[in-house]
Structure 1
Amino acid sequence: MVTPARPHAIELAPTRFWILHVVRAVLFAAVALFITFSRDHSAGLGLTAFGVFALVTGIVIGALSVRMVADRATRRLIIAQAVISIFAGTAALALRETGLGTLLLTVSIWAGMTGLLELYAGYRLFRRSALSRDFLIAGGLTALLAVVFVLVPPDFQQTDGGLNNAPLTLTSSVMAVGVFGAYAAIMAVFLAIGGLSIKWQKADEIASTEESE
């Protein structure tokens, strides 16, 4: 998951950056599970789930990055993402009764801005840090979410027979909320593996150093 460090690599956080990955993974997993087990996939539910997720993520990750990211420029990029998340989450919660258009607009803007910032962080660290690949993949997935939300048709509706001939209606809001839940689940798995990989890599390096001494 984490690419090998190259010559002249910079260390974003000697032993603790993996915590940021794992915390983000837990937050993504929480919203993914909430959406998965919720029978209501309305725009209001989507705005509430996204709003709480973005607000909590922005506050927690922004606060943790101050102490756990040593590289100043990368820390600023992460804090910028956190600020955007806080604003997007607050807007989503404040406007949760306004419907599908707000959900599509809010998530697409949030995903586009934070995804591009994370892609830039990965590009900036290319050939200098083992974390570059993690930033690039996470940023790419988030930017892709923005594209998908832009392409979701706002007036889509299709009714099928469903189970036991009970009507099952697929709407734009169901699609949008489902896509966000799937994205959150993928990010949770990716970040959890990435975070644990960093932790185990550090543990192996420490063990190797001790053995050489």
Structure 2
Amino acid sequence: MANETTIPLLPCRSLDDVAPFYQALGFEVTYRQERPNPYLTLRREDLHLHFFGMAGFDPADSYGSCLVVVDDLVAIHGAFADGLRAAYGKVLVAGVPRMTRPRPRRNQEGHSGFSIVDPGGNWIRFVGRATQAETGDRGGLARTLGNAVVQGDSRGNPGQAARILDGALARPDAADDPAVHVEALVYRAELALQLGEPEAARELVGKARSVPLDDESRARLAGTLRHAEDLLKALPHG
């Protein structure tokens, strides 16, 4: 057999929840019906997602998930982030819906990935087809950060991820590699937002900003530093 196509069919509470969110990400609605059963089809280039509505469905109870392999992980994440900023005034980094940022995943053999948690509570997991996997074990804070990412980004357990990182960040050698230190602080700030701790998030972003970086490290961390600004925009006012 050849030319097969598999399309995820995912649950949601309401089509009115998921349609505007995915349209902000650049999807178009290709079909929609309300009766006899709510059904929605979405398309973004070669990526198709279908949704069915369930009255009384709680997104927190969703086990819906799918894996999307893409050629350019950074480009599609950037396009999604721009769409969220245009539609919502910020990148959604906490709550439901939300989007993580590309990070190496220890449970994906070091390949980078990011996830979208949509309004139906479904996890759309993106991984780069051509990304070079991180090899070797740098140990220390870098290894701990990788373990935290597995818990927070892959398994959806920000509390456990925060506990893992807190122990490592408290060690005297946490700042030995400034670039990794910044990555860890910014990720911990993201976890704080997910855990409903905005002041802790603000403090962690401040610490990340204060880490001295050379020009090479600052250029390499451009995405992380922009993400830190997105975290500040996501903080509640007042």
Per residue, is there more strand in 1 or in 2?
Answer: 2
- The TM-score range, normalised by the shorter chain, is 0.3 to 0.5
Q: Which has the higher contact order (CA 8 A, sep 6+)?
A: 1
Q: What TM-score does the superposition give when structure 1 sets the normalisation length? A: 0.33
Q: What TM-score does the superposition give when structure 2 sets the normalisation length? A: 0.31
